């Protein structure tokens, strides 16, 4: 495991500074070290290490159930965790959730979690607690005109896509340093996905985002960097395009690209308990793309 991480870091850094001259100079905005999460008796995250570079979109990828949502919840303090979460130069792990958010995190949860009993306007008003929020409201309304039109409507009566826009708009009212977005396209019709992705790429230009996304195409469109989780650990880190170029990597870590269903693949692996084989694959994969790039 150590081996891979060093390797991945080694080639991320040149990639970041070389490929993107404008954004690569600064230190990472978020640095996670040895993050562990237990839920009941289940040990879900086994010591994650990763970083999120400023002004870039980092995709957090992996199969269903590897702990992506858990990672976001732990970063927010909504789940108890062990380990270090260094955000903007400060270890925020002892802070309660609301402090972390006040410190510059914003969150768009999986399944939207808008307040269904409140109106659209009230949902947004709840989020307007920062000095900058007033100035950001027109931007949110421009981005999602639907929200302005339906401001008196109960959020519970919105369609899935509209609720997603509300959840995004709510987060964008916060002048956050880091946006945590969990599966923004989950359960949406393809045509709505296009709309949401367009709005997302517009809204997240120049901001720092950690994005959980199952839909690889969406991740590809939005993200520049990728962190891939497997079995509660970081299996691969690097540039998004490098990962996408590697079919073996995609197949082994994300279960895409072959006919075999992901679930079956995953089960075989865990049954063998081959904790070492995958990191090696990951390392191989990254070396390959390094050569290619």
Partner 1 sequence: MSATTAESSELSASAAIPPPRRSRVLPIVMLAVGLVFAVLPFVDLPLPGVFTGPLSSPGTLQILAIGLVFAGVAMSYDLLLGYTGLLSLGHALYFALGLYGTNLLMIHFELSYVVAVPIALLITLVVALLLGSVAMRVRGVAFAMVTLAFAEAFHVFVEADPARISGGEEGLSLAGAQVPDLLTGVVNTRWVYWLALTFALLSFVVCHQAVSSRAGRVWQAIRENEDRVELLGLIPFQFKLLSFGLSAVVAAGGGAVYLLLVRGATPGSASAVFTLNLIIMVVLGGLGRLWGAALGGLVFGYLQLRLPGVARSGVFDPLPAWLEGPLTEPLFILGALFVILVMFAPGGLASLPERLGLLRRGSR
Partner 2 sequence: MSLQVFVLLTVTGLGLAGVYFLIASGLSLIFGLMDVLNLAHGLFFTVGSYATWWVMTRFGFIDSLALRFAVAVIVAAAFGLAVGWITERFFVRRFYGDHVTQILITLGLSLSGVALIGGWFSYDPQTFPLPELFRRVVLIAGARIPVSRLLILAISVVLLAALLTFLRRTRHGLIIRAGVENREMVQAMGIDVAKSFTLVFAIGGLLAAIGGVLGAVFFAGVTPEFGLNVLVFAFIVVVIGGLGSVEGTALSAVLVGLTQQYVNFFAGAGIGDLTVVILLAATLLLRPQGLLGEVAR
Footprint on this chain of partner 1 (rule: CB under 8 A): 39-40, 42, 44, 64-67, 69-70
Q: Give min distance, CB of 131 to partner 1, in A.
A: 37
Closer Cβ to partner 2, 59 or 176, answer by number:
176
Looking at the Cβ atoms of 102 and 151, the one nearer to partner 2 is 102
Rounded alpha-carbon distances, angstroms, from residue 206 to 11, 32, 132, 217, 266 = 23, 22, 17, 20, 36
Binding site for partner 2 (CB under 8 A): 76, 78, 96-98, 101-102, 107, 109, 113, 115-118, 122, 125-127, 129-130, 170, 174
Task: Compute how many other C-beta atoms are within 10 angstroms of the C-beta atom of residue 287.
Answer: 13
Shortest reach from residue 29's CB to partner 1, in Å: 26
Give the Å distances, CA to CA, from 93 to 82, 165, 231, 271, 288. 8, 30, 23, 34, 36
Location of structure tokens 């497997």: 230
Residue 58's nearest CA partner among 72, 45, 44 is 72
Pair 208, 225: CB distance under 8 Å: no
89 interface partner picked from partner 2, partner 1, none, CB below 5 to 8 A per type: none
Cα separation, 5 vs 31, in Å, equals: 13
Query: Looking at beta carbons only, is 125 or 141 nearer to partner 2?
Result: 125
Between 55 and 70, whose beta carbon lies closer to partner 1? Answer: 70
Residue 65 interacts with, from partner 1, partner 2, none (CB under 5-8 Å by kind): partner 1
Least CB distance from residue 226 to partner 2, whole Å?
24
Residue (174 or 278) nearer to partner 2, CB: 174
Q: Shortest gap between Cβ of 64 and partner 1 (angstroms)? A: 5
Sign of CA dihedral 226, 180, 185, 266: positive
């Amino acid at each position: 495991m150590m081996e891979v991480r060093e390797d991945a870091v080694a080639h991320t850094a040149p990639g970041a500074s070389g490929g993107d001259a404008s954004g690569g100079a600064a230190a990472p905005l978020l640095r996670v070290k040895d993050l562990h999460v237990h839920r009941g008796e289940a040990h879900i995250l086994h010591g994650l290490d990763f970083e999120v570079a400023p002004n870039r979109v980092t995709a957090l990828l992996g199969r269903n159930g590897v702990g992506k949502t858990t990672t976001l919840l732990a970063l927010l303090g909504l789940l108890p965790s062990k380990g270090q979460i260094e955000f903007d130069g400060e270890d925020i792990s002892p802070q309660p959730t609301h402090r972390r958010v006040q410190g510059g995190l914003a969150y768009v949860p999986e399944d939207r979690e808008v307040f269904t009993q409140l109106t659209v306007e009230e949902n947004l008003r709840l989020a307007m607690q920062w000095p900058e929020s007033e100035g950001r409201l027109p931007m949110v309304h421009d981005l999602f005109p639907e929200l302005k039109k339906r401001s008196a409507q109960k959020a519970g009566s919105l369609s899935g896509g509209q609720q997603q826009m509300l959840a995004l708009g709510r987060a964008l009212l916060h002048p956050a340093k880091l946006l945590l977005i969990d599966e923004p396209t989950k359960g949406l019709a393809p045509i709505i996905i296009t709309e949401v992705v367009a709005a997302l790429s517009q809204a997240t230009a120049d901001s720092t985002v950690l994005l959980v996304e199952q839909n690889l195409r969406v991740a590809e469109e939005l993200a520049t960097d990728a962190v891939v989780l497997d079995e509660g650990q970081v299996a691969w880190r690097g540039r998004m395009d490098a990962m996408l170029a590697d079919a073996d990597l995609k197949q082994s870590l994300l279960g895409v690209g072959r006919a075999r269903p992901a679930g079956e693949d995953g089960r075989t692996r865990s049954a063998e308990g081959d904790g070492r084989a995958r990191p090696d694959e990951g390392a191989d994969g990254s070396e390959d793309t390094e050569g290619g790039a």
